[in-house]
Amino acid sequence: MPEHWIADRTRCFDASGIRRVFELGAKMTDPIDLSIGQPDFDVPEEVRRAAVDAIQSRKNGYALSQGMPVLRDKLQAQIDRQYGHDDRQVFVTCGTSGGLMLALLVLINPGDEVIVFDPYFVMYDSLAGVAGGKVVYIDTYPDFRIDLERVADAITPRTKAIIFNSPGNPTGVVAGREEVRGLAKLALERDVVLISDEIYRDFCYEGPSVSPAEYNPQTLVVDGFSKTYGMPGWRLGFAHGPAPIIREMVKLQQYSFVCAPHPFQLAGAVAMDVDMSPQIAAYRRKRDLLLAGLADDYELVHPGGAFYVYPKFPWGTGMEFVEKAITKHQLLIIPGCIFSHHNTHFRISYAAEDSVIERGIEALRKLGKQG
C-alpha cells in the first residue's frame, strides 16, 4: 500500500502504551494487574436491569444526537441547580473521550495553541494534535500543582484552550479551591476556553471536587458515567457549557458518533438516583491500604482522588523498572513517560480487589529494594 494514503494527522500519536500493557496482561496466567483505569465494581443491579429492560423493550434504534430527554433533562436539571447559569446547556456524548474529541474539533483551528499540564491523560495532546492545534506543555512537577504565573506567561494571542483535569489522571492529585478559582478567573480574563475533564469528580476523599465552572461560566465541562457507575464499556458521557459551543458539538456528533447508545441512556437516567457512596468509601480504603504499604519504599505526592498513585522510580530508568516489574514479578504498572515528558514516575491503579492490591504491595516492596 502506498504510504501517502495515510493522513499526516495519524502521526500525532502512537498506539496507547496503556493498551499495550493491558494486552500483555491478557496473555499472562495470573498477573498482578494494577494498570488499567477501570473500576473493579460492577454496574449496580438496578441499572443493569434498566438496560436489559430497555433492550427487551426494543429501545435499540438511534437516539437523539443531543441525548434522550429521560437522561438529558435530568442532567440539565442537576446542572442548573449546581451552577444557575442562564446559558449552560448539556448533551449526551459517547463517553468522556467522545466529548473531548468533539470539543477540540469544534474549538481548535490549525495553529491554535492548547495548554496541557504535564503529567496529563494520554488523550489530551493527541486529540489537540489531530484537531491541528499546537500543544503547549506546562510542567507541574514536583508537586503537580498549577502555577498561575506560569500559565499566564504561557498564554499568547494564539492560545485557544486550556485542558484541566481534577482529580487528576495519572497523579490522583486534587486541585484546591483557590487553585481552581485562580485558573478559572485567568482563563475568563484572557479569553481562553477552559475545558474541565471531571470524570473522576466523585472520587474525592478529603472533600468535594471543585469545578472551575463555579467561577467561570464559560467553562466547558466533560464528564461521564464510566468511572462512578462502573460502566466504561457502555460509552455514556455528557458535556455541558455555553450553548453556542454545545450546539456545534451536537452538530458534529450528528456527523461522527451519531448518538450515545440508546438503551444505556435510559439506564443512565436510573443510575443518577443510585447512591454510590459505599463504592467511593471502598476506594478511599483501597488508596489508604496502598499508601501505607508503599510508605517506606517509595516517594510520592499524596493522591486526594481518582484511583491512581504516581510514585517515583526508586532506581533505574522508567522502562527498566517497569520491565522488571512485569517480567520478574508479573506486576502490570504503567511507566510515567506515557503521560509525561519526564521519565521519573510510574502509575499504579488501585481499581482492583484488595487481594490484588496486597499482592501488588508485596511485589513493589521487593522491586523497590532489590529489583
Give the CATH H-level superfamily of domain 3-43+276-370: Aspartate Aminotransferase, domain 1 (3.90.1150.10)
Which pLDDT belongs to residue 30? 86
The C-alpha atoms of residue 57 and residue 263 are separated, in whole angstroms, by 9
Is the CATH code 3.10.20.90 the one for domain 60-271? Answer: no
Nearest-angstrom CA–CA distance, 271 and 264: 10
The two beta strands, 237-242 and 88-93, are antiparallel
> Edge-to-edge strand order for the sheet containing 159-165?
88-93, 237-242, 220-224, 193-197, 159-165, 113-118, 134-139
- Grid coordinates representing 304 are 486526594
- Tell me how far apart the terminal alpha carbons of the chain are, to the nearest angstrom: 45
Q: What is the pLDDT of residue 19?
A: 61
pLDDT at 307: 98
Q: Which residue in 111, 151, 120 sits closest to 13, CA to CA?
A: 120
Would you tell me how many other CB atoms lie within 10 Å of the CB of residue 233?
Answer: 11
Nine-digit cell string for 155: 498564554
In DSSP terms, which residues pair with 305 in a beta bridge? 204
- pLDDT profile of the chain (371 residues), mean per 10: 86 68 69 93 98 98 98 98 96 98 98 98 95 97 98 98 98 98 98 98 95 98 98 97 98 98 98 98 98 96 98 87 90 94 96 97 92 57
Predicted local confidence at residue 13, as pLDDT: 74
Predicted structure pTM score: 0.95
Amino acid 100: pLDDT: 98
Contact call for residues 226 and 201 (beta carbons, < 8 A) = no
| Cβ partners under 8 Å of residue 112, min gap 6 | 132, 133, 134, 158, 159, 160, 161
Name the residue ranges covered by the structural domains of the chain: 3-43+276-370, 60-271
- How far is residue 147 from each of residues 76, 140, 150, 168, 227, measured CA to CA in Å? 33, 7, 5, 16, 28
**Residue 44: half-sphere exposure toward Cβ, Cα within 13 Å:** 20
139-152 b/e (C-beta count within 10 Å ≥ 16 → b): ebeeebebbeeebe
